[in-house]
């Protein structure tokens, strides 16, 4: 199915779940990825996207984990689609267990990302410590060539009980390939 994906498995999930009636061939573009602006989150991390060219982006980041990241963390992803007048709620996905969620949607990709981040072995639970993602280069052409058109914003929250402890925001667009496009 979806063989290849992005950062920490998350973007992957986002790309795969977006659903609309307007479906077909196109190209992916991650406009930007950043942490949400909540200051009370306890996960200290940073992520930076480095544009390389039309088909490739590089990602750098770091994460300080002050406790093991285990099966007691949950996840909630709020997805909205940009339409005239704002971003309209589109879909909410959640799971009491973040690890199950990632393993369900993006196990292989999560492994690759964990490997790049220096997690040994590249699997959950991730033990407390400092992690860095260096020049993880992602090729968008490896993503499924068919998708649902639109510009989506997804906020992925890491939950501990009902508390939001971390959040990353990603803006991604799937653009229709025009048939008469000549480049």
Closest approach of ligand NAG to the CB of residue 50, in Å: 10
Closest C-alpha among 70, 73, 124, 125 to residue 94: 73
Q: Nearer Cβ to ligand NAG, position 53 or 162?
A: 53
- Distance in Å, CB of 60 to ligand NAG, minimum: 14
The whole-angstrom distance between residue 16's C-alpha and the CA centroid of its chain comes to: 10
What Å distances lie between residue 25 and 32, 142, 147, 176, CA to CA? 22, 13, 6, 6
Phi, psi dihedral angles at 7 (to 5 degrees): -50, 120
User: Which of positions 77-106 make contact with ligand NAG (CB under 6 A)?
Assistant: none
Task: Judge contact between 161 and 75, C-beta under 8 A.
Answer: no
Site string for ligand NAG, 34-73 (x = CB under 6 A): ------------------xx-xx-----------------
Q: Which is nearer to ligand NAG, 137 or 177 (CB)?
A: 137
List binders of ligand NAG among 121-160 (CB under 6 A): 137
* DSSP SS3 for 145: coil
Considering beta carbons, is residue 56 or 127 the nearer one to ligand NAG?
56
Provide CB contacts within 8 A for 39, sequence distance 6+: none
User: How far apart are CB 53 and ligand NAG at their closest, in Å?
Assistant: 4
- Point out which residues bind ligand NAG (CB under 6 A): 52-53, 55-56, 137
């Amino acid at each position: 199915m979806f063989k290849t994906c992005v950062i920490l498995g998350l973007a992957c999930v986002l790309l795969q779940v977006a659903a609309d009636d307007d479906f077909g061939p196109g190209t992916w573009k991650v406009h930007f990825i950043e942490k949400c602006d909540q200051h009370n989150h306890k996960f200290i991390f940073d992520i930076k996207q480095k544009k390389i060219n039309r088909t490739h982006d590089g990602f750098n980041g770091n994460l300080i984990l002050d406790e093991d990241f285990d099966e007691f963390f949950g996840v909630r992803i709020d997805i909205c689609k940009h339409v005239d007048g704002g971003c309209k709620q589109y879909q909410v996905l959640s799971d009491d267990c973040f690890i199950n969620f990632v393993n369900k949607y993006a196990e292989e990709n999560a492994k690759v990302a964990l490997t790049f981040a220096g997690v040994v072995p590249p699997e959950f639970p991730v033990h407390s410590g400092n992690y860095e993602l260096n020049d993880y280069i992602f090729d968008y052409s490896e993503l499924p060539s068919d998708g649902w058109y639109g510009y989506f914003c997804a906020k992925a929250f890491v939950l501990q009980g009902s508390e939001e402890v971390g959040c990353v925001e990603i803006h991604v667009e799937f653009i229709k390939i025009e048939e008469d496009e000549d480049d």
